[in-house]
């Protein structure tokens, strides 16, 4: 009886320790920094997740993704360029709530469907396409992808890299 009780206790501990809710992704809510001129509109459907590289460092990426692109001291876009950014240290920044449209895919097409920002969630990885991403980024990206794929019922084949749709 003592061994059964210990086994049951260990099973309970395993359930508590390895519960998916305990591993819920902690994000840094960056939505308050979103350009106030960015119009939030609900995206009618979510079919894809598009993964991008920022091609810049974290401060510049956060500023551009949330506030907009600047040319000659003036904003030429209104921000809202991604839903999430995964920093090199693994921190996840939530820039636009994934229920809203974000202008991350630009001129895009996949299997005859155009304007993929209308159908997708955009995740940016801090860094450059020619420099390997960090293990912390890959770990956070995996957790974020798993959560979003489950929530929106997105299959692996519909998680795309930006170069495939641009």
Please name which of 53, 50, 51 lies closest in space to residue 127, comparing C-alpha atoms.
53
Find, among 95, 102, 88, 94, the residue nearest to 41 by Cα.
102
Q: Are 94 and 33 in contact (CB under 8 A)?
A: no
d(CA 128, CA 17): 36
| C-alpha–C-alpha distance, residues 23 and 69, integer Å | 34
* Dist. CA 93–CA 85, nearest whole Å: 5
What CA–CA distance (Å, rounded) separates 159 from 145?
8
Residue 124 annotated to the active site = yes
Residue in 124, 135, 142, 161 annotated catalytic: 124
β-strand partners of 48: 120
The catalytic site residues sit at 124
């Amino acid at each position: 009886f003592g061994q059964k009780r210990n086994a049951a206790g260990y099973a309970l501990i395993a359930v508590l320790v390895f519960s998916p809710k305990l591993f819920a992704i902690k994000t840094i809510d960056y939505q308050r920094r979103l350009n106030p001129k960015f119009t939030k509109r609900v995206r009618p459907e979510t079919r894809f997740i598009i993964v991008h590289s920022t091609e810049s460092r974290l401060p510049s990426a956060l500023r551009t993704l949330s506030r907009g692109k600047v040319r000659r001291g003036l904003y030429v876009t209104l921000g809202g360029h991604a839903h999430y950014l995964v920093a090199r240290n693994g921190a996840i920044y939530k820039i636009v709530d994934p229920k809203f449209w974000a202008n991350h895919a630009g001129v895009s097409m996949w299997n005859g469907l155009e304007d993929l920002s209308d159908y997708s969630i955009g995740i940016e990885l801090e860094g450059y396409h020619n420099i390997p991403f960090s293990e912390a980024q890959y770990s956070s990206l995996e957790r974020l992808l798993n959560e979003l794929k489950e929530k929106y019922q997105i299959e692996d084949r519909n998680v795309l890299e930006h170069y495939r749709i641009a």
